[in-house]
């Protein structure tokens, strides 16, 4: 939701912090700020708007200091403004703090501090923390942080500097991600590893309710009670090149075009050409007691939830296990029936989504085993699950999820085959036939991408439409929801996804000649039903855009636009039909001149409720 970066070392901190914030800007970008510690004086620069506005200010002011903290904000409490931008200071301006998360009891704390004479300048929840640290400080910043943590409720990741403690950063987390970069002669702290990667591959993923004091060449980790904890230093495998656009105009289009190769790479990893089994070794599935699992519940948000819905069809089809899909924000507040034969599967690209993380904790509290499908190794959900299946999509920078979605669908398909085999329900010949078709998918995805100009023409025709409707059935029903989400979150055009069979129960009332309707109609068991629904729309002068299987002649006769995808196993068709939907959203958005990688009001990782 927000990005935090801190540096303490021998070099000037400003360029290092700004480079780190640039890598985190996808997390939030309505304002940004930096605080530098130089001897015992602190210099703060804050700006509304994107990081580029802060960078321009810094070129004029160029503050010095080899210790500093920076922040990119996604506003939760208080409008985007310079005064609400982080870092926030105490009454004496001796402490500067940046925060990612939400302090749920900030109102009572603010009143308590006001009663003690503290003066606040911002509307944020964050500001109470820096005044709490001021209140608790008696010569040791780490101790003051720990005392303050014990008063807080909510989710947070902090970094704080103090005029009285040169060459020192104190950081802490509970519920929001924070990673320490262990360098040579320097140490860093950031919301995710990508921001420290150009300085070190050695990281410590801070645990919840832990705090750390960083010096130039030392670090001390403590738990909330003040007991020192041995830092668990890991080596990260991320590559910086994966963080760049590689010649593409935007991260989103780069990530859309990466999908064929990522599917090919995952297949090579999970079912090597000579292998007859699916390799999930790193996932530690044996800890889940799969033999006694009789039902599955899936918990996720947004695009990941649409992938879960596709996974429901797969697991019920191949493993014959009943599957229930919940959005995490509902799951965690209802009273789910979880028995000891329930497997909960959490899906999350970032592994930091607050609602999904809370769903994982609630499921485990109720005695379920949790398997998570994650893209970011070392993330909170990864570390709090009983077993983790990595989807290996590589870093996904664009706020709109694309390649992670197809990687999640692929992972669920393979998991369903794995469970089906394990339960003796998927005979060898059927398994081989499905895997044979699966191995053709990367090439078929590529041919859809090669045909991207057709989608661009379609986008050009309809980019001014005020509304869109997306229809699908069976395996492609979730894709209808996903296509609508992509369009609305990027182009700000209202778009709705709907099961095609549901049209006549209400949505068909919307149809007129201003309404483009995107219909997912690949060959398969429900194709004829889709054709009937399309005819109902046509009879009401609706504008039909079909995603259909190559060679389909009848679609051209009744649709304004047909986008073809190669023939494949019906269950695998979502991996192909989603690509035109991703491209359509991308082209419409860029034609409207909007920021496709950082759409308004959104953030890549929703780490608050």
Query: Which residues carry out catalysis?
Result: 2, 604
Question: Least distance from C-beta 417 to ligand AGP, angstroms?
Answer: 23
Cβ 328 to ligand AGP shortest distance, Å: 8
Are the C-beta atoms of 9 and 196 separated by less than 8 Å?
no
Taking each helix axis from N to C end, the angle separating 127-136 and 106-115, rounded to the nearest 10 degrees, works out to: 50
Instruction: Identify which of residues 221 and 360 has a Cβ nearer to ligand AGP in the complex.
Output: 360
* Pairing between β-strand 233-235 and β-strand 295-300 as defined by DSSP bridges: unpaired
Cβ-contact 129, 146 below 8 angstroms: no
> Between 200 and 349, whose beta carbon lies closer to ligand AGP?
349
Residue nearest to ligand AGP (CB): 302
Paired with 69 in beta bridges are 6, 35
Residue in the block written with tokens 């009285």: 164
In the bound state with ligand AGP, the residue whose beta carbon lies nearer, of 125 and 352, is 352
Q: Which residue, 95 or 413, has its beta carbon nearer to ligand AGP?
A: 413
For residues 489 and 597, which CB has a smaller minimum distance to ligand AGP in the complex? Answer: 489
Distance CA 161, CA 89 (A): 10
Contact 385, 356 (CB under 8 A): no
In 460-498, which positions are buried (b, 16+ CB within 10 angstroms) versus exposed (e)? eebbebeebbbbbbbbbbbbbbbbbbbbbbbbebebbbb
Q: Minimum distance between the CB of residue 273 and ligand AGP, rounded to whole angstroms?
A: 31
Select 348 or 476, whichever has its Cβ closest to ligand AGP.
Answer: 348
Question: Which residues would be at the binding site for ligand AGP (CB under 6 A)?
Answer: 301-304, 348-350, 353, 356, 399-401, 489, 602, 605-606
Distance CA 32, CA 69 (A): 11
- The least CB distance from residue 355 to ligand AGP, in Å, is 8
Least distance CB 352 / ligand AGP (angstroms): 7
Nearer to ligand AGP, 399 or 471 (CB): 399
Q: Cis omega (within 30 of 0) on the bond before 78?
A: no
CA distances (Å), 57 to each of 4, 53, 63, 72, 82, in order?
19, 6, 10, 15, 12
Place of tokens 């661009």: 456
For every residue of 141-159, DSSP letters joined together read HHHHHHHHHTT--EEEEEE
CA angle 264, 269, 270 (to 5 degrees): 100
Choose between 68 and 311: whose C-beta lies nearer to ligand AGP. Answer: 311
Give me the residue label for tokens 């040791």. 140
Taking the complex as a whole, how short is the minimal distance between the CB of residue 309 and ligand AGP, in angstroms?
Answer: 13
Give the pairing of strands 41-48 and 31-38: antiparallel
Output the smallest distance, CB 107 to ligand AGP, in A.
Answer: 27
Enumerate residues 6+ apart whose C-beta is below 8 A from 391: 266, 349, 373, 374, 375, 404, 407, 408, 410, 411
Smallest distance, ligand AGP to C-beta of residue 504, A: 29
């Amino acid at each position: 939701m927000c990005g935090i970066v801190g540096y303490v070392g021998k070099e000037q901190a400003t360029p290092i912090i700004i480079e780190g914030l640039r890598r985190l800007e996808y997390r939030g970008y309505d304002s940004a700020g930096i605080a530098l510690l130089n001897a015992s004086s602190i210099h703060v620069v804050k700006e509304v708007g994107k990081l580029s506005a802060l960078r321009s200010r810094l070129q004029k002011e160029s503050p010095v200091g080899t210790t500093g903290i920076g922040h990119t904000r996604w506003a939760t409490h208080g409008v985007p403004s310079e005064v609400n931008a982080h870092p926030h200071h105490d009454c004496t301006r001796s402490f500067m703090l940046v925060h990612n998360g939400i302090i749920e009891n900030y109102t009572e704390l603010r009143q308590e501090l006001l009663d003690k004479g503290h003066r606040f300048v911002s509307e944020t929840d964050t500001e109470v923390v820096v005044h709490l640290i001021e209140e608790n400080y008696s010569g040791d910043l780490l101790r003051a942080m720990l005392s303050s943590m014990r008063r807080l409720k909510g989710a947070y990741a902090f970094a704080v500097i103090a005029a009285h403690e040169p060459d020192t950063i104190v950081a802490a987390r509970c519920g929001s991600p924070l990673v320490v970069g262990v360098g040579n002669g320097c140490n860093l702290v950031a919301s995710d590893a990508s921001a420290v990667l150009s300085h070190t591959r050695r990281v410590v993923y801070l645990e919840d309710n832990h705090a750390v004091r960083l010096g130039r060449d030392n670090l001390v980790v403590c738990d909330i009670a003040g007991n020192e904890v041995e830092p668990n230093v890991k080596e990260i495998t991320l590559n910086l090149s994966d963080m760049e656009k590689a010649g593409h105009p935007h991260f989103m289009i780069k990530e859309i075009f990466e999908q064929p190769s990522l599917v090919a790479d995952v297949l090579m990893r999970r079912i090597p050409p000579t292998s007859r089994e699916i390799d999930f070794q790193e996932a530690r599935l044996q800890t889940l007691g799969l033999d006694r699992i009789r039902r599955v519940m899936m918990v996720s948000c947004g695009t990941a939830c649409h992938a879960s819905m596709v996974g429901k069809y797969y697991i019920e089809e191949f493993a014959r296990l009943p599957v229930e899909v919940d959005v995490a924000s509902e799951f965690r507040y209802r009273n789910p029936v979880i028995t000891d034969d329930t497997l909960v599967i959490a899906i999350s690209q970032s592994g930091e989504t607050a609602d999904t993380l809370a769903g994982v904790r609630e499921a485990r509290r109720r005695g379920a085993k949790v398997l998570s499908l994650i893209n970011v190794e070392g993330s909170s959900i990864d570390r709090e699950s009983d077993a983790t299946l990595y989807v290996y999509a590589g870093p996904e920078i664009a706020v709109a999820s694309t390649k992670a979605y197809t990687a999640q669908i692929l992972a669920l398909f393979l998991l369903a085959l794995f469970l089906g085999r394990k339960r003796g329900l998927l005979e060898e010949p059927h398994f081989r036939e499905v895997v044979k078709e699966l191995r053709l998918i990367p090439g078929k995805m590529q041919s859809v991408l090669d045909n991207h100009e057709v989608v661009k023409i379609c986008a050009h025709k309809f980019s001014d439409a005020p509304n869109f409707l997306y229809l699908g059935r069976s395996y492609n029903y979730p894709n209808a929801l996903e296509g609508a989400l992509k369009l609305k979150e990027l182009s700000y055009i209202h778009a709705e996804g709907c099961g095609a069979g549901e049209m006549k129960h209400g949505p068909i009332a919307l149809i007129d000649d201003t309404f483009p309707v995107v219909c997912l109609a690949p060959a398969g068991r429900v194709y004829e039903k889709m054709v009937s629904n399309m005819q109902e729309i046509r009879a009401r002068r609706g504008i039909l855009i079909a995603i259909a299987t190559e060679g389909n002649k009848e679609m051209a006769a009744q649709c304004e636009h047909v986008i073809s995808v190669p023939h494949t196993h019906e269950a695998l068709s979502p991996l192909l039909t989603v690509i035109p939907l991703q491209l359509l959203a991308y082209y419409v958005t860029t034609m409207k001149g909007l920021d496709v990688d950082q759409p308004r009001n959104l953030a890549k990782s929703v780490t608050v409720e």
